[in-house]
C-alpha cells in the first residue's frame, strides 16, 4: 500500500526541471522563470567588499606581527602582509570593474539566483546546518540517521519506511566502516554511550 | 632500463591480496564517485582520504589513486548516457558521445571512451615511468632557492596561462596563500593571524577546505540546477567492444595527438579540463569533414577522453618527482603523503623506493583492471543514477563531514567545511576559479619556507634567485609568465592602434 502511494509524489516533481530545460528554447528566456532574488553584479560587489575587508583585517594583524625585513630575511608577517595588499588591490580592481560595467551595458541584468533556485539551495543548505548542530550534540551517527531520513522524506517525498530503512542501514554501515573497521573516531553522543562505545 | 627493474620491483610490492583488494575497492568507489553528479575526482579522493589514515602509505596511495582512475572512467558514463558530465573534464565527451547514444550506439561510444581513457593514461604512465626518476635525480640537487623558483613558476603559470579573468585568479590564489599561513609560523615559531583564537592555532587544513569547496558547494549547485536524469540504456556486448577495437588503429593520429596534448597540459598546471577541450578542437581542426563533429562521431569521443586521462595521469608526475601537484586531485594526494608521514619531493625516489614504484606499478595495473571492470559493469553503474538524488545528497553531506572531522578530530573543522561550502558556491557562481586556491593552500607554507630558508642561507640577499643558471632561468621564466599577459595586451594595443587609424 504505502509503496504504491510513494510512486505518485515524485512524478510531479521531475517535470519542472525537465520542462524548464526544454522550455528554455521556445519561451523567451526570462519569461517563464521565477523572479530573480539577487543580481550577479550585486553579489560580485558584496564579495569584493568582503574580500577587501578580509584583506584589511589580515593585513593589520600581520603588520602587528611584524612585516619587516629582519637581517636573516623576512619576518613572520612579511608574506601574509604583502599578500593581503595584493588581495586588496585585486578586490578593488574587481569592485571598480563591476561597478563601472553597469553604466556601459544596457542588457538585462544577469540573475545570480532566482527564487525557485534559492528555494532548492536552501533545501539542502538548511538541513546541512542542522546536521552540523546535531553532530555537535548527538554525535555524528545519530545526526546522519536524522539527516538522511529527514531529507529523503521531506525533500524527496519518499515513503517513510524506505527513508527509515535506508538511513538506518547507511548510518550503521558508516559506523561499522569507520569506527570498527578503520578505527577512525567520530564525534559521538548519548546513543553510542549507551552501547558503551 | 633501470626503470624497468624498479618497476618489476613495484609490481612485486603490489601483488599482495590486501593491496589488490584495496585496489578493487578503490576502483569501484571511484567509478561510483565519478558517475554521481555532485561528486567528482577531487572530492571523492578528499572525502575518502580519512579511510587511509590507519593504512601504510603504499596501500593508501594505491587505493586513493585507484579511486582517481575510477572517477576518470566513471565521468564518461554519465556524459554519454545522460548528457550530464559527471566531471568538468567530460564536458567535451558529451558533444559527440550523447548523439551517439541517441542513435543507439551507446555501447560503441562507451567502449570508445573507456578504451581511449585507457590509452591516454597508459601513455602518461609510460612517461612517468621513464621521466619521473630522471627529473627526481636532477632535482635532488635542488636547494631552497631552486624549490622556491619552481613554486613561483607554478603560481605564475596559473596567473599567466589561466583562462579565467586574471584578477579573479589572483584573488583566489592570494586567499589560499594567506589562509595557508594561519597558525604557527614554522620558521620563527610565532603565531600569526589567529587573533588569539585557539581553534586557529592548528592552522586551516587544506583538506577541510577542499571538502567544503568541492563537496558541499557541488551539492548546492546540483540542487540549484535540479537535474533530471533521463538516460539511454546501455549494454556493451563483446561484439561491440571488438568492433571498436578493430577500428582503433585507424585513429592513431588522433589518439597520439590527444595523448601528447594531455601529457603536456597535465605536467604544466593546465589540467584535464583544458586538455579535453583542446584534444577535441584539435581533432576537429585536423579532420577533413568538420561538420560531422557534434553529430555522433567516434573520433569526438576518442579525442577528449584520451587527452583528459593523459592529463589526469601525468599530473602525478610533478607530484611524485618534485612534490608539486599538477592538478587539484594531485594536490590532495600530496596532502595525503604528508598525513602518512612522507615528505614529498625528489627524495621520495631514494628514501621510499617501495612507495614510489608501488604507486607507478599500481597505475599500470589499476588502468588495466579499471578498463575491464568498467566495461563489464556499465549497466550496474548506470542504474546508480536512477537512485533518487534526495537519497544520495544527504549521504554525500555525511561523508563530507566524516572526512572533514577525521583529519584533526575537530568539530571546528566541520563548521569550517560548511563555511567553505558556502564560499565555494558563491565563488563558482561569480567566476572565481577554485583550482588556484587549492594549489595555494597546499603549497603556500612550503613555498614560504623555501623562500625564507634561502633568505637565511643567503643572508637576506634576493640575488640568490639568480645565483646560478638553473635557478636564474626558472625565476626569469616565472616572472616572464607573470608579466606576459600585460606585455601581450600592450603589444596588441600598439599593433591595434595603427590598424585602427588606417581603417
Give the range among B8-12, B186-190, B244-248 with minimum mean pLDDT. Answer: B186-190
The closest CB to that of B390, out of A21, A73, A151, belongs to A151
Cβ of B230 under 8 Å from any chain A Cβ?
A: yes
pLDDT classification of B420: cutoffs 50, 70, 90 = very high
Cα separation, B192 vs B201, whole angstroms:
8
Mark yes or no for CB contact A69/B394 under 8 Å.
Answer: no
Q: Cβ–Cβ of B51/A44 closer than 8 Å?
A: no
User: How far is the C-alpha of B278 from the C-alpha of B32, rounded, in Å?
Assistant: 27
Higher-confidence position of A28 and B260: B260
SS3 label, residue B140: coil
Model pTM score: 0.79
pLDDT of residue B275: 75
Lowest mean pLDDT among A92-106, A112-126, A160-174, B64-78: A92-106
> How much is the pLDDT for B271?
63
Position A33 scores a pLDDT of 63
Residue A9 confidence (pLDDT): 33
Q: Tell me the C-alpha distance between B404 and B417, whole Å.
A: 7
Q: Say yes or no: B386 contacts chain A, CB-CB below 8 A.
A: no
Q: Answer whether B36's CB lies under 8 Å from B86's CB.
A: yes
Q: Is the predicted pLDDT of residue B399 greater than 70, yes or no? A: yes
pLDDT band at B380 (very low <50, low <70, confident <90, very high): confident
Average pLDDT, chain B: 80
Range with lowest mean pLDDT among A9-18, A105-114, B57-66, B74-83: A9-18
> CA of B240 to nearest chain A CA: how many angstroms apart?
32
Please give the pLDDT value at position A130: 93
Q: Considering only the beta carbons, identify the residue of B193, B225, B228 that sits closest to A62.
A: B193
User: Is B107 within 8 Å of B235 (Cβ atoms)?
Assistant: yes
More confident residue, B271 or A158: A158
Half-sphere exposure (Cβ direction) of A53: Cα atoms closer than 13 Å: 6
**pLDDT at residue A13, rounded to an integer:** 34
Q: What is the mean pLDDT of chain A?
A: 76
Q: What's the rounded mean pLDDT across residues B191-214? A: 79
Q: What's the pLDDT at A57?
A: 87
Q: What is the pLDDT of residue B40?
A: 66
Residues in chain A closer than 8 A to B432 (CB atoms) = 47
Which of B172, B197, B395, B409 to mutate against chain A (most A CBs within 10 Å)?
Answer: B395
DSSP letters spanning B247-270: HGGGGHHHHHHHHHHHHHHHHTTT
Q: What is the pLDDT of residue B386?
A: 72
Mean pLDDT along residues B162-184 = 83
Q: How confident is the model at residue A146 (pLDDT cuts 50, 70, 90)?
A: very high
pLDDT of A12: 33
* Residue given cell 538516460 in the structure block: B231
Do B53 and A125 lie within an 8 Å CB cutoff? Answer: no
Dihedral-angle region of residue B108 (phi above 0 means left; psi in -120 to 50 means alpha; beta otherwise): alpha
The CA distance from B183 to B190, in Å, is 8
pLDDT band at B498 (very low <50, low <70, confident <90, very high): low
CB contact under 8 A, A121 and B223: yes
Name the pairing type of β-strands A36-39 and A111-114: antiparallel
pLDDT tens-place string over residues A96-140? 888 887 655 556 677 888 888 888 888 889 999 999 999 988 888
Amino acid at each position: 500500500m504505502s509503496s504504491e502511494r510513494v510512486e505518485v509524489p515524485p512524478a510531479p516533481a521531475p517535470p519542472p526541471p525537465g520542462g524548464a530545460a526544454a522550455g528554455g528554447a521556445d519561451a523567451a528566456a526570462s519569461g517563464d522563470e521565477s523572479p530573480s532574488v539577487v543580481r550577479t553584479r550585486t553579489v560580485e560587489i558584496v564579495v569584493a567588499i568582503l574580500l577587501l575587508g578580509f584583506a584589511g583585517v589580515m593585513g593589520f594583524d600581520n603588520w602587528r606581527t611584524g612585516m619587516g625585513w629582519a637581517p636573516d630575511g623576512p619576518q613572520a608577517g612579511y608574506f601574509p602582509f604583502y599578500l593581503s595588499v595584493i588581495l586588496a588591490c585585486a578586490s578593488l580592481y574587481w569592485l571598480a570593474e563591476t561597478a563601472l560595467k553597469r553604466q556601459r551595458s544596457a542588457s538585462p541584468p544577469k540573475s545570480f539566483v532566482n527564487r525557485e533556485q534559492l528555494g532548492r539551495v536552501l533545501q539542502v543548505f538548511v538541513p546541512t546546518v542542522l546536521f552540523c548542530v546535531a553532530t555537535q550534540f548527538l554525535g555524528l551517527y545519530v545526526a546522519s540517521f536524522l539527516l538522511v531520513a529527514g531529507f529523503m522524506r521531506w525533500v524527496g517525498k519518499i515513503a517513510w519506511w524506505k527513508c527509515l530503512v535506508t538511513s538506518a542501514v547507511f548510518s550503521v554501515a558508516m559506523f561499522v566502516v569507520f569506527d570498527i573497521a578503520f578505527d577512525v573516531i567520530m564525534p559521538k553522543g548519548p546513543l553510542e554511550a549507551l552501547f558503551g562505545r | 632500463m633501470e626503470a624497468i627493474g624498479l618497476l618489476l620491483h613495484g609490481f612485486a610490492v603490489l601483488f599482495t591480496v590486501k593491496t589488490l583488494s584495496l585496489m578493487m575497492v578503490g576502483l569501484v568507489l571511484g567509478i561510483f564517485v565519478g558517475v554521481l553528479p555532485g561528486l567528482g575526482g577531487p572530492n571523492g579522493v578528499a572525502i575518502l582520504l580519512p579511510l587511509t589514515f590507519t593504512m601504510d602509505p603504499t596501500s593508501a596511495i594505491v587505493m586513493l589513486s585507484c579511486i582517481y582512475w575510477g572517477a576518470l572512467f566513471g565521468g564518461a558514463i554519465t556524459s554519454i548516457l545522460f548528457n550530464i558530465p559527471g566531471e568538468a573534464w567530460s564536458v567535451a565527451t558529451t558533444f559527440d558521445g550523447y548523439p551517439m547514444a541517441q542513435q543507439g550506439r551507446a555501447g560503441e561510444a562507451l567502449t570508445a571512451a573507456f578504451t581511449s581513457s585507457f590509452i591516454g593514461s597508459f601513455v602518461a604512465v609510460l612517461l612517468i615511468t621513464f621521466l619521473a626518476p630522471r627529473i627526481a635525480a636532477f632535482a635532488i640537487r635542488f636547494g631552497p632557492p631552486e624549490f622556491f623558483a619552481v613554486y613561483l613558476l607554478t603560481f605564475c603559470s596559473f596567473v599567466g596561462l589561466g583562462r579565467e579573468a586574471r584578477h579573479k585568479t589572483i584573488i583566489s590564489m592570494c586567499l589560499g596563500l594567506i589562509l595557508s599561513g594561519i597558525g604557527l609560523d614554522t620558521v620563527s615559531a610565532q603565531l600569526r593571524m589567529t587573533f588569539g583564537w585557539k581553534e586557529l592555532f592548528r592552522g586551516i587544513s587544506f583538506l577541510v577546505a577542499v571538502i567544503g569547496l568541492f563537496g558541499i558547494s557541488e551539492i548546492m549547485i546540483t540542487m540549484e540546477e535540479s537535474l533530471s536524469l533521463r538516460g539511454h540504456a546501455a549494454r556493451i556486448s563483446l561484439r561491440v567492444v571488438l568492433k571498436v577495437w578493430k577500428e582503433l588503429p585507424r585513429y592513431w593520429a588522433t589518439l597520439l595527438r590527444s595523448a601528447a596534448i594531455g601529457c603536456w597540459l597535465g605536467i604544466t598546471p593546465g589540467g584535464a579540463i583544458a586538455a579535453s577541450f583542446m584534444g577535441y578542437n584539435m581533432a576537429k581542426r585536423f579532420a577533413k569533414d568538420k561538420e560531422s563533429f557534434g553529430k555522433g562521431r567516434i573520433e569526438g569521443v576518442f579525442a577528449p577522453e584520451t587527452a583528459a586521462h593523459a592529463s589526469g595521469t601525468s599530473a602525478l608526475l610533478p607530484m611524485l618527482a618534485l612534490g608539486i601537484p599538477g592538478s587539484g586531485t594531485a594536490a590532495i594526494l600530496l596532502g595525503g603523503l604528508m598525513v602518512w608521514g612522507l615528505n614529498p619531493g625528489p627524495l621520495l625516489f631514494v628514501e621510499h623506493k617501495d612507495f614510489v614504484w608501488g604507486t607507478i606499478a599500481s597505475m599500470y595495473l589499476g588502468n588495466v583492471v579499471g578498463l575491464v571492470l568498467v566495461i563489464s559493469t556499465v549497466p550496474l553503474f548506470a542504474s546508480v543514477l536512477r537512485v533518487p538524488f534526495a537519497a544520495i545528497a544527504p549521504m554525500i553531506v555525511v561523508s563530507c563531514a566524516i572526512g572533514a572531522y577525521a583529519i584533526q578530530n575537530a568539530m571546528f573543522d566541520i563548521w569550517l567545511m560548511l563555511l567553505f561550502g558556502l564560499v565555494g558556491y558563491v565563488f563558482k557562481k561569480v567566476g572565481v576559479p577554485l583550482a588556484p586556491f587549492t594549489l595555494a593552500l597546499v603549497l603556500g607554507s612550503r613555498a614560504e619556507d623555501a623562500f625564507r630558508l634561502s633568505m637565511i642561507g643567503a643572508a637576506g640577499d634576493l640575488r640568490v634567485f639568480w645565483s646560478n643558471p638553473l635557478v636564474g632561468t626558472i625565476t626569469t621564466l616565472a616572472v616572464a609568465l607573470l608579466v606576459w599577459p600585460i606585455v601581450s595586451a600592450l603589444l596588441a594595443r600598439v599593433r591595434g592602434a595603427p590598424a585602427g587609424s588606417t581603417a
